[in-house]
């Protein structure tokens, strides 16, 4: 059994994998929204320039799909280490120092931002749900409150992914590979 297999089989690594499972599933599903966005964009352009037609709801659906894709895929991309990182120093550091940076970044930056987003968005989302907020534009989408709901959902998913990242970093700092 290799060091990698042992680390994968450790309890914290199993917990981290379990915590990251929901953000990964949601993110992979959200990624399919890129196809919806491409089709909507094609349809908007074709209708506008081919037949001089346009619908506000179709344009708002494109914006909503874009918002949903980004909000729901945030945590998954973090788990895949796909976020933009200015790693002039980080990439050359040993794995334990990278783990320390990841752990400190999670505890000192990621979780406070997620907590702030969650707390501050709850009243905002609740107000949108109370009135079942829709578009302000005539002919727009009726379910704006559903899109706003993705703000606290994204914060929770990002927090879960941060916990998984923190656990993996702690395992690496402890000396396990």
Would you say residue 159 has pLDDT above 90?
A: yes
pTM summary value: 0.84
The tokens for 135 are 């578009």
Would you say residue 107 has pLDDT above 90?
A: yes
Report d(CA 38, CA 19) in Å as an integer.
31
Would you say residue 6 has pLDDT above 60?
A: no
Q: Mention every residue, 6+ apart, whose C-beta is less than 8 A from residue 102.
A: 165, 166, 168, 169
The owner of tokens 């396990």 is 176
Print the domain residue range for 165: 3-174
Number of domains in the chain: 1
First to last CA, the chain: 13
Contact 145, 129 (CB under 8 A): yes
Provide the 3-class DSSP secondary structure of residue 94. Answer: coil
Report d(CA 76, CA 101) in Å as an integer.
19
């Amino acid at each position: 059994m290799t060091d990698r297999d042992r680390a994968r089989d450790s309890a914290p690594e199993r917990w981290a994998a379990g915590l990251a499972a929901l953000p990964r599933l949601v993110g992979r599903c959200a990624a399919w929204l890129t196809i919806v966005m491409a089709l909507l964009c094609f349809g908007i352009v074709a209708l506008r320039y081919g037949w001089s037609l346009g619908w506000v709801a179709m344009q708002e659906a494109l914006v909503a799909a874009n918002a949903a894709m980004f909000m729901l895929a945030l945590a998954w991309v973090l788990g895949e280490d796909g976020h933009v990182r200015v790693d002039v120093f980080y990439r050359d550091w040993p794995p334990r120092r990278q783990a320390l940076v990841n752990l400190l970044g999670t505890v000192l930056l990621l979780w406070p931002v997620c907590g702030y987003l969650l707390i501050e968005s709850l009243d905002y989302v609740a107000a949108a749900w109370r009135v079942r907020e829709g578009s302000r534009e005539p002919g727009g989408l009726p379910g704006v409150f559903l899109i706003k709901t993705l703000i606290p959902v994204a914060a929770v998913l990002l927090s879960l992914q941060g916990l998984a990242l923190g656990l993996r970093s702690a395992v690496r700092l402890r000396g396990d590979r």
